[in-house]
Each structure stands twice: as structure tokens, then as C-alpha cells.
């Protein structure tokens, strides 16, 4: 099976000390490094929300990264729901 046939997506809520620590920027960099598309944004309640699409294996590696985040972050909880890809073309930070 090649990566094209294993496309997947997920929606994630990350809770903890995840705002004001460079989470969105480093999340975006990590997703791009892995060749994923989607977006990341801060939520009003202090969480970070992530939508990611790409090869299932790369999404698994990205989810592992989200469970730790960048230096300075403290991830307390990650809620992940698998979804169907929507055809995002790049990974971006939403404001």
C-alpha cells in the first residue's frame, strides 16, 4: 500500500499550557516537515485545535508530537477524532 491510498485525517483538541509557548508555530513546522496539510489555531478556552490530513503513518507521528508539544508547553490532555480528509493543500496557522 502506498501513501496515496492511506490518506486519513484527524481533529485534535490539545489542553494544558499550550498557548503563549510557541505551540502553533512549532506545530505548523512539524506538520509541514511531515508533509501534512491542515491547520492549527488557539481556542478561547486556552486549548489548541488542530486539523491534519495526510498519510496515516505520518499522522501517527504527528499525533505523538502533539502529545508532548514544543519545549515550554505542558500537554495535559489530547482528544483525537479520526475524520475523512477534505483536500487541504497546505498546513497553516489560523488566527
Residue 39 lies in a domain: yes
Q: At what angle do helices 23-33 and 56-66 cross, to 10 degrees?
A: 160
The tally of domains found in the chain comes to: 1
pLDDT, tens digit, 9 for 90 and up, residues 28-80: 999 999 999 999 999 999 999 999 999 999 999 999 999 999 999 999 999 99
Residues with catalytic roles: 24, 42
Provide the whole-model pTM.
0.92
Residue 94 lies in a domain: no
Residue 60 lies in a domain: yes
| Cα(60)–Cα(15) distance, integer angstroms | 19
Structure confidence at residue 3 as a pLDDT band (50, 70, 90) = very low
Domain range for residue 63?
22-85
Q: Which CATH number belongs to the domain containing residue 61 in this structure?
A: 3.30.70.100
Residue 41 lies in a domain: yes
Amino acid at each position: 500500500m502506498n501513501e496515496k491510498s492511506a490518506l486519513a485525517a484527524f481533529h485534535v483538541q490539545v489542553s494544558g499550557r499550550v498557548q503563549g509557548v510557541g505551540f502553533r508555530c512549532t506545530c505548523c513546522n512539524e506538520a509541514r516537515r511531515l508533509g501534512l496539510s491542515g491547520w492549527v489555531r488557539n481556542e478561547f478556552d486556552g486549548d489548541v485545535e488542530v486539523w491534519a490530513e495526510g498519510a496515516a503513518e505520518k499522522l501517527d507521528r504527528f499525533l505523538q508530537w502533539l502529545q508532548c508539544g514544543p519545549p515550554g508547553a505542558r500537554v495535559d490532555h489530547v482528544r483525537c477524532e479520526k475524520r475523512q480528509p477534505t483536500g487541504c493543500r497546505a498546513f497553516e496557522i489560523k488566527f
